[in-house]
Amino acid sequence: MRKVVITMNEMKLSKRLQTVAEYIPDGAVIADIGSDHAYLPCYAVLNHIASRAIAGEITDGPFLSAKQQVEKLNLSSHISVRQGDGLEVIQKGEVDAITIAGMGGSLIAHILESGKDKLTGKERLILQPNIHAIHIREWLYKEGYALVSEMILEEDGKCYEVLAAEAGDKDAAYEGFSFEAGMLVGPFLAKEKNAVFTKKWTQELEHTEKIHEQISRAAQSGHNKQKLAELTKRIELLKEVIGHG
């Protein structure tokens, strides 16, 4: 993973988007889906990371903002701003890498599933969910993509994960580790266990234990018993990955 050199103050990215940029292959043609102001593609092209880029947006406001940003930086010959839903803004085989950042994991997985006819399987997928990264890992595994790297970071009091995947052995990342736990928290992240990872999942464990306790005190209906079993399993997984128990 490359450390990106910032060339202009105006294009200094947020910590999470800079992490996404570090996973873009050198000289790649990229598509940034849900590009907002096109900050990421502009940054990647200006820093000579990407050779060309597509900035995709579905709604009028962000689409126009992206166009204005690209034109302001005189990058129209290198960045194509397109309006459309998800991967419909690209042609199959047109890009080397796809970035999708700043959405929920389930929405990112939905975008990939809805547009998978646009994928060749050779693209690098660089995905930054705000929550529920498990949905992305499940989709990648189902579709035969290999998870090749993950990063977890904290910015403005929130934890973010960045996942990179491409064609390869989809089981390799999960070897030597509980598959179910790896899906939930990320196999690379669980093996590294940095401070942000430990903070996030310790808080999640405490939250899950509180819910378990509350339901335990409630009437034991069939639904509650099922919920308790699910929560117990989750608590066991979280204790496994953060080393409590």
In 3-state terms, what secondary structure has residue 34?
coil
Residue 119: is its pLDDT beyond 70?
yes
Q: Tell me if 108 sits within 8 A of 136, measured CB to CB.
A: yes
Q: Tell me if 58 sits within 8 A of 110, measured CB to CB.
A: no
Instruction: List the single range of 3-17, 98-112, 135-149 with lowest mean pLDDT.
Output: 3-17
pLDDT in tens, 183-242: 999 999 999 999 999 999 999 999 999 999 999 988 788 888 899 999 999 999 999 898
Q: Structural domain boundaries of the chain?
A: 9-190, 197-242
Count the alpha carbons within 13 Å of 27 in the hemisphere toward its beta carbon: 0
Question: How many other C-beta atoms are found inside a 10 Å radius of the C-beta of residue 227?
Answer: 15
What integer pLDDT is reported at residue 222 of this predicted model?
Answer: 84
- Cα–Cα distance, 189 to 34 (Å, whole number): 26
What mean pLDDT do residues 178-185 have?
94
Edge-to-edge, what's the strand order for the sheet holding 124-129?
79-83, 50-57, 28-33, 97-103, 124-129, 158-167, 145-155
In 3-state terms, what secondary structure has residue 38?
coil
Residue 1: is its pLDDT beyond 90?
no
Residue 8: is its pLDDT beyond 80?
no
Confidence of residue 131 (pLDDT cuts 50, 70, 90): very high
CATH architecture of 9-190: 3-Layer(aba) Sandwich (3.40)
Residue 70: is its pLDDT beyond 50?
yes
Residue 74: is its pLDDT beyond 60?
yes
pTM above the 0.85 mark? yes
Residue 106: is its pLDDT beyond 90?
yes
Confidence of residue 169 (pLDDT cuts 50, 70, 90): very high
Mean pLDDT of the chain: 93
Confidence of residue 112 (pLDDT cuts 50, 70, 90): very high
DSSP 120-166: -S-SEEEEEESS-THHHHHHHHHTTEEEEEEEEEEETTEEEEEEEEE
